[in-house]
């Protein structure tokens, strides 16, 4: 994809983030799931780092290398005609130069957005220090700007997902990080784990940018989140988990019972083949 095409796709993707009319993203993990999501009517495709890692035989949590992860992103971007945003975990890099290289590789893969998280998996602290994470976001922003592409940088804050701080202080901690990340160049804020309507409303009002929430069973509906002013809703690894649950259920039934009822309701062979052959 040329720089001009990337720029146009990035601008289109940015325009989809409207508080009260949220961009809804059923996260994909390979070319087939991306094409199915697009055919279902998604205005854009988001990857799930967990789903991508599992598909490649690795565990989630900064354990997958940049080249393998972004190889999947490239295949997804090539499979669909809508904008693609890539979940790049914490940047697939330990230093700022590495974050810069990752963003360049994201653009080369054809994606026009990234999620970059502040979770840490290899130390005692659950989150990267605010100032350090802000520097990484600034590096991502600078790399995209240097390439002439208005990459949508979605800063993921894991205060809720990892249970950081006392519950009463968590909103304040989240808003502090959100402000720092937006100042550093983030375009949106992603707070997975926060779905309580009262909490989401406070976050919407306190974040000076589009708010992304992660939904799943038991969470408010898309319409309810829209009423709270949310601008983006994704489901993380939810679709991949559901798909893999079907695999396990069907495999166990086949091996233990010798029956095949778990295979009922699958996509028609011809329909799926035609979709992926188009």
Fold for the domain defined by 3-236: TIM Barrel (3.20.20)
For residues 173 and 177, what is the distance between their CA atoms, to the nearest angstrom?
6
Continuous H helices in 64-211 = 66-79, 96-109, 130-147, 167-184, 197-206
User: What pLDDT does residue 28 have?
Assistant: 98
* Domain spans in the chain, listed from the N-terminal domain onward: 3-236
Question: What is the overall mean pLDDT for the chain?
Answer: 97
CA distance between the termini of the chain: 19
pLDDT tens, residue by residue, 63-72: 999 999 999 9
Closest to 194 in 3D by CA, of 164, 149, 154: 164
Q: 92 and 68 in contact (C-beta within 8 Å)?
A: no
pLDDT in tens, 122-170: 878 999 999 999 999 999 999 999 999 999 999 999 999 999 988 889 9
pLDDT digits (tens, 9 = 90+) for 71-86: 999 999 999 999 999 9
How large is the average pLDDT for residues 203-223?
A: 98
Q: Span 46-69, mean pLDDT?
A: 96
pTM, entire model:
0.96
Helix (H) or strand (E) holding 42: none
Alpha-carbon span 128 to 96, nearest angstrom: 13
Mean per-residue pLDDT, 187-204: 98
133, 177 Cβ separation under 8 angstroms: yes
> What per-residue confidence (pLDDT) applies to 165?
85
The pLDDT score that the predictor gives to residue 166 is: 83
**pLDDT surpassing 80 at residue 278:** no
Burial of 117 (0-12, 13-18, 19+ CB in 10 A): buried
CA 175 to CA 88: how far, in whole Å? Answer: 22
Give me the helices (H) in 80-129, please.
96-109
CB of 191 closer than 8 Å to CB of 212: yes
Q: What is the pLDDT of residue 124?
A: 84
Alpha carbon distance 134, 77 (integer Å): 28
The pLDDT score that the predictor gives to residue 35 is 98
Q: Which whole number is the average pLDDT over 255-275?
A: 96
- Res 31: pLDDT: 97
Share above pLDDT 70 across residues of the chain, in percent, rounded to a whole number: 100
Question: Tell me, what's the pLDDT at 204?
Answer: 98
Residue predicted with more confidence, 29 or 4 = 29
User: Which among 47, 62, 48 is positioned nearest to 99, based on CA atoms?
Assistant: 62
pLDDT confidence tier of residue 201, bands split at 50, 70 and 90: very high
- Please tell me the predicted confidence (pLDDT) of residue 41: 98
């Amino acid at each position: 994809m040329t720089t001009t095409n990337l720029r146009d796709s990035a601008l289109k993707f940015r325009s989809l983030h409207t508080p009260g009319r949220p961009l809804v993203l059923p996260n994909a993990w390979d070319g087939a799931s991306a094409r199915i999501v697009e055919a279902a009517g998604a205005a854009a495709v988001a990857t799930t780092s967990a789903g991508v890692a599992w598909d490649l035989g690795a565990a989630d949590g900064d354990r997958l290398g940049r080249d393998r992860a972004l190889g999947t992103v490239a295949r997804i971007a090539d499979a669909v005609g809508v904008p693609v945003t890539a979940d790049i975990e914490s940047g697939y890099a330990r230093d700022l130069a590495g974050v810069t290289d990752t963003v360049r590789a994201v653009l080369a893969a054809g994606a026009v957005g990234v999620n970059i998280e502040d979770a840490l998996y290899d130390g005692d602290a659950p989150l990267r220090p605010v100032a350090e994470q802000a520097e990484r976001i600034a590096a991502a922003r600078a790399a995209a700007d240097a390439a002439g592409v208005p990459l949508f940088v979605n800063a993921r804050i894991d205060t809720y997902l990892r249970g950081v701080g006392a519950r009463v202080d968590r909103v304040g901690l989240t808003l502090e990080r959100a402000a720092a990340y937006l100042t550093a160049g983030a375009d949106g804020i992603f707070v997975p784990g926060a779905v309580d309507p009262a909490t989401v409303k406070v976050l919407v009002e306190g974040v000076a940018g589009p708010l992304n929430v992660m939904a799943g069973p038991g969470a408010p509906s898309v319409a309810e989140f829209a009423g709270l002013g949310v601008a983006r809703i994704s489901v993380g690894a939810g679709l991949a988990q559901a798909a893999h649950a079907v695999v396990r259920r069907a495999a166990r039934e086949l091996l233990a019972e010798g029956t095949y009822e778990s295979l009922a309701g699958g996509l028609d062979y011809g329909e799926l083949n035609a979709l992926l052959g188009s």
